[in-house]
Amino acid sequence: MKIIHVSGYEEMSGKSADLMAELIQNSNNPVIGFATGSTPIGLYKCLIKKYRQKEISFRNVTAFNLDEYVGLAKENKNSYHYYMNEKLFKHLDISRRNINIPNGMAEDLEQECLSYDRLVSEKAIDIQILGMGLNGHIGFNEPGTSFKSRTHIVDLDQSTRQANSRFFRSLDEVPTKALTMGIETIMESKRILLLVSGNEKSEALARLLNSTRVSQEFPASILRKHKDVTVMADDAALNKIH
């Protein structure tokens, strides 16, 4: 794993956007895996800026998102469809038909997972952006998820629902299920960029970087087995690393 140490959130956002811009400029049809959560918001702002300054275009970009809540419509402000549109896609020249996000409203969720997974595999993600949950989850792959998992339906951990409840009016409103790319699906990405910022992630990051242990109990640990992972983390997140 390559580790890029940055001073804080702003530098992380700028540097990760530079890295993404380089990839977009050097590829004819870049396939990018996007993540949600608070962590990549700064990166998305920087990408929009680069697009406005005509440094990059998303005309040929194909986008795949990691996950989506079950039962939230696209128009729901807490759905990841809504998040991606507001925070990124609507500001860019990306073609709507190249945007792929699992449909948590599908009538047949199992079928949705299968088709989504097939599509991801066919296209092959050039770079997958990842954030990390406090319990080491990536996407919505909670502790205990098989490393062999493909896109699937998950029951969200109480701790994840609690953490994400900050976006909802109350904990009760946070969905109990989600669709997520599986660990094996994520690991097929050619390159992975894990962004970690802030003191509250320092325990989780220490668990990832201070040990060589790869265990399903800590999903992010699988990243140790990937041949091209960049972890970009700031001072606060790195403060428990020895």
Task: Indicate which single residue of 36, 128, 135, 151 sits in contact with ligand GLP (rule: CB under 6 A).
Answer: 36
Note if 93 is an active site residue: no
Please give the single-letter amino acid code of residue 174.
V
In the bound state with ligand GLP, the residue whose beta carbon lies nearer, of 30 and 133, is: 133
Shortest spacing between CB 157 and ligand GLP, in angstroms: 9
| Contact call for residues 36 and 81 (beta carbons, < 8 A) | no
Q: Looking at 126, 137, 141, 234, which residue is catalytic? A: 137
Task: Indicate which single residue of 104, 139, 175, 182 sits in contact with ligand GLP (rule: CB under 6 A).
Answer: 139
Of 44-73, which residues contact ligand GLP (CB under 6 A)? 66-67
| Contact call for residues 24 and 30 (beta carbons, < 8 A) | yes
Q: Cα separation of 88 and 97, whole Å? A: 15
Note if 142 is an active site residue: yes
Residues in binding contact with ligand GLP, number by CB under 6 A: 14
- Which element (helix H / strand E) includes 202? helix 202-209
Of 67-126, which residues contact ligand GLP (CB under 6 A)? 67
Of 158-197, which residues contact ligand GLP (CB under 6 A)? 160, 164
| Contact call for residues 160 and 137 (beta carbons, < 8 A) | yes
What tokens appear for 156 in the block?
């969200």
| Contact call for residues 93 and 109 (beta carbons, < 8 A) | no
Question: Is residue 111 classed exposed, middle or buried when 0-12, 13-18 and 19+ CB atoms within 10 A define those classes?
Answer: exposed
Show which residues are catalytic: 67, 135, 137, 142
Chain residues binding ligand GLP by CB under 6 A are: 35-39, 66-67, 131-133, 139-140, 160, 164
